[in-house]
Amino acid sequence: MKLVTHYLFTTGLLSLIMSMFTPYYLVLSGVVAIAGNLIIDGLGHKEVQTRRGMIPTRTPLTHTYPRSVVWGLLPSIPFLLLGYFLGYFLWWLAMASVLVGPSHMFLDMFTEAGVYVKKGGKWRRYALAHFRYNNPLAKEKTILLGSKGKRWCTCSSTMWGFTLPSRLWGDSDKGFKFVKVSFTPEGIAGTI
């Protein structure tokens, strides 16, 4: 999968968990997801010369499930330390950050190269499906899968001294229901 697909899928997954604990879940999950996926792909890919030219390949350094947990947890360490020094234990951030690496491996299992598993003392590649990394249908479906985890988002905005909650997505089983909310001096107007 392309790196953007990894970013969006992991951000959606982390937002689902972090939204229960902090109002800054989207920013925090985005930073941790992007940094974690950059580390995993940056350290876990190398280019090999073949008769067809240079091709990117994966290495077992980061593209195994146990190792990906450690690499995916690295970007959250500064936030955990900051919370610790401020007197907070951000256990929910640690638990959510553990999912960065396995979510990356989950998506890579659907590509041609797959992920590495150790079988008989040797590294073997394992793939569930053999989609090309730039397959648009596979990319769009996984992005929607990651964003559907958080089907609705309650945002609040202050107007005339009181908080106005507004739902941005509906609970429709057929996908997203976009709501346009307009704030005017006369009041609130919403259209579906």
CA 140 to chain CA centroid, Å, is 14
pLDDT digits (tens, 9 = 90+) for 128-175: 877 766 677 776 776 666 655 444 333 333 333 433 344 333 333 444
pLDDT above 70: residue 57: yes
DSSP annotation string for 122-172: EEEEE-S--B-TT-HHHHHHHHHHHHHTS---EEEEEETTEEEEEESB---
- The 10s digit of each residue's pLDDT in 117-136 is 888 888 888 888 777 666 77
Q: What is the value of pTM for the model shown?
A: 0.67
More confident: 61 or 184: 61
Let me know if 68 is exposed, middle or buried by CB neighbors in 10 A (0-12, 13-18, 19+). buried
